[in-house]
Structure 1
């Protein structure tokens, strides 16, 4: 129950920061943006204290660890793969164009005699 109250409080703080942006419309833009940032920071700080916030932080840390394990392709491998994709697209485009023109010739010239 306490976590739900904290989450509601966090959302209320974020909402208050956003509302402050509009309420302080006669103030300088820096003050208005600062109100949003303070509200967002306070909301995140309160949300961080919840069980859901702690799980999110643990998930983010695990995601960073897993990202470091990824073996990224070299520049040469990336260029080669991209070249193969472009070549495949060109071949398929030519094939589809030839198929379309062949069907057009068969249907319009041979069967229907429209030309």
Structure 2
């Protein structure tokens, strides 16, 4: 990353910090103006970042991510309910199995080996 881009990122951070500082420095009864200070700081910082190399790389990455998300084949409602049913059935079956193993081991150790009642 070039020094110019580093300076732009530092400048963007300072703009956000200035917006937050403006929020706390403005009077409490000026709530709308306080919010505008933060939003303006963030928007100005986003503008500065937009013109830096990391900002352009992020925008390209975001565009590629959207293109990849559009390629996903989403399941139908019927498929979703079927898979959900299978998951619940498996979880219930596993819970019964674990209860049976736990009860069996408790019986074996406490009643048979240790002869406790």
TM-score after normalising by structure 2:
0.95
Deviations 1:17-54 (A, max 9, x none): 11111111334211111100000000000011100000
Aligned length, in residue pairs? 115
Stretches (4+) displaced over 2 A: none
* SS class of match (1:73): coil
Equivalent positions of 1:10-21 (< 5 A) are: 10-21=12-23
Alignment root-mean-square deviation, CA: 0.8
Which of the residues 58, 67, 92 maps onto 2:94? 92
Match of 2:64 in 1: 62
TM-score after normalising by structure 1:
0.97
Match of 2:37 in 1: 35
Deviations 1:72-109 (A, max 9, x none): 00000001001100000000000000000000001111
- Check if 1:2 corresponds to 2:1: no
Unaligned runs of 5+ in 2: none
